[in-house]
Amino acid sequence: MDWGLKNRLSRIIKPDTGRTVMLAVDHGYFLGPTTGLEEPGKTVEPLLPYADTLMLTRGVLRNCVDPETDIPIVLRVSGGTSVLKDDLSNEGITVSIRDAIRLNVSGVALSIFVGAPNERETLQSMADLIDDAEEFGIPVLAVTAVGKDMVRDARYLALCCRIAAEMGAHFVKTYYCDDFERVVSTCPVPVVIAGGKKIPENDALQLAHNAVKRGAVGVDMGRNIFQSDCPVGMIKAVRAIVHENIPVEEGYKIYESEKANNVKTAVA
Ligand code: 5RP
């Protein structure tokens, strides 16, 4: 791995803990103005101090994030379909590597759809993106198992992650599942987990805790942070779990205390 690529990757996965809290706000690329991201700039701004990396699209980056913000960017560079279509796998590369460089990103991300109708096309897109990105020392994040019909068990997720790594992805994003150790131990590159659909705060913290305990280097979490009734409390709690290995109960207290502060400030 060359110096530039390693350096960029170390901006995303922090060398002092070997972990990362990535804040995912790229959902609009196929979901439009999804709940919590109607005005992405307003959602993201208070969360930035607690995120190690921001994952988003170029449109939101250009229009809603201050260019003087000091946060590493992982840019989603795949898309081309919408939630209105049955087959979400019909994606291609939507951003050139030149534009990614112009935007000074630390990494690029695309989805791969193993087992879906466009499996081959998305895997080929990943291989092409890796070739382009490696030329400029930019790490590639492969996002696996997006889609409502995917059975997200260890066998399937290990297959997706391993294929991504075999083809050269530098890190992989997947879902947490039972027997998650198998997914991580058979994937030779770092694994981060998506949060998935909004679930109760305590369950989302448990998910983050289980994932890092079982070998994930962190989270790339979206809805369970920005759709929470206290997004700052949630990201602070997730951060402490990921970087400090605190128990879930302590994480939940961080969330509750931030929420209580917000109520006090609103009443005052
Ligand atoms: C969508 C994505 C999202 O970034 C991903 O799903 C993470 O967000 P969440 O925690 O809300 O699942 O890659 O394709």
Q: What is the pTM of this model?
A: 0.96
Instruction: Count structural domains, the chain.
Output: 1
CA of 197 to the centre of ligand 1 (A): 9
**Ramachandran assignment for 218, one of left (phi > 0), alpha (psi -120 to 50 degrees), beta (any other):** left
Residue 147 near ligand 1, beta carbon < 6 Å: no
- Ligand 1 within 6 A of CB of 150: no
CA geometry: angle 197, 174, 113, nearest 5 deg: 95
Q: Which of 42, 173, 198, 264 is catalytic?
A: 173
Residue with tokens 């128990």: 247
pLDDT averaged per 10 residues, the chain (length 268): 94 98 97 97 98 98 97 97 91 98 98 94 98 98 79 92 98 97 98 97 98 98 98 98 98 97 76
Q: What is the CATH number of the domain that holds 62?
A: 3.20.20.70
Q: Catalytic annotation on 198?
A: no
- Per-residue model confidence (pLDDT) at position 149: 66
- C-alpha of residue 187 to centroid of ligand 1, in Å: 20
Q: What's residue 87's pLDDT?
A: 87
Q: Which domain holds residue 174?
A: 3-267
pLDDT of residue 264: 74
Q: Contact 209/218 with Cβ under 8 angstroms?
A: no
Predicted confidence at residue 38, as pLDDT, reads: 98
Q: Does the beta carbon of 223 sit less than 6 angstroms from any atom of ligand 1?
A: yes
b/e code 89-108 from CB counts within 10 Å (16+ = b)? bbbbbebebeebeeeebbbb
Coil/strand/helix, residue 171: strand
**Closest to 157 (Cα-Cα) out of 129, 195, 198, 191:** 191
